[in-house]
Amino acid sequence: MIELDIFVKSVYDVVKMIKKKANRRERNQGMNWIRPEKRLALYLRDGLACCYCGDTVERGVRLTLDHLRPYASNGSNNPNNLVTCCLKCNSSRGKRSWKLFAGKVAAYLNCGVSAAKIIEHIETTRCRSLNVAAAKVLIANRGGFTAALHGERS
């Protein structure tokens, strides 16, 4: 009976540890999960435009980063798993795969852009190198991330 108690307690401890780890992972997904210079470098790599619909900062769109393989499915924060994505696209994607979502965006845009073109664009852009050092200098020279993104000088 004592052995069973010990066994149950260790199973309980393992479950508790797994839950704690999962919660930590969730907490880390706030706005500060990525350094500003890396975020800006990713936006610059992708031409300050949403990789799905092509909307740009100049047109007033709010940029975010999309995990191609979702973070919740153990997708990494590596640059080749992250693409610039407008807030509208990011909140519309849901649990769909990014390739399936590309098809939905192409149909929604209905302007001759095919899903294959969006996918090709993402496959190309995600492999480009990042210039984090240049983004860091830009942020410092402009006096902050927002100023750097919108081309303002402090």
Tokens for 7, please give them: 């066994």
Closer of 89 and 139 to Zn ion (Cβ) = 89
Closer of 103 and 131 to Zn ion (Cβ) = 103
Q: Taking the complex as a whole, how short is the minimal distance between the CB of residue 91 and Zn ion, in angstroms?
A: 10
Q: Taking the complex as a whole, how short is the minimal distance between the CB of residue 58 and Zn ion, in angstroms?
A: 14
Q: Which of 28, 52, 60 is CA-nearest to residue 126?
A: 52
Residues of this chain that bind Zn ion (CB under 5 A): 50, 52-53, 55, 86, 89
The Cα–Cα gap between 37 and 41 comes to 6
Closer of 113 and 147 to Zn ion (Cβ) = 113
Q: Taking the complex as a whole, how short is the minimal distance between the CB of residue 89 and Zn ion, in angstroms?
A: 3
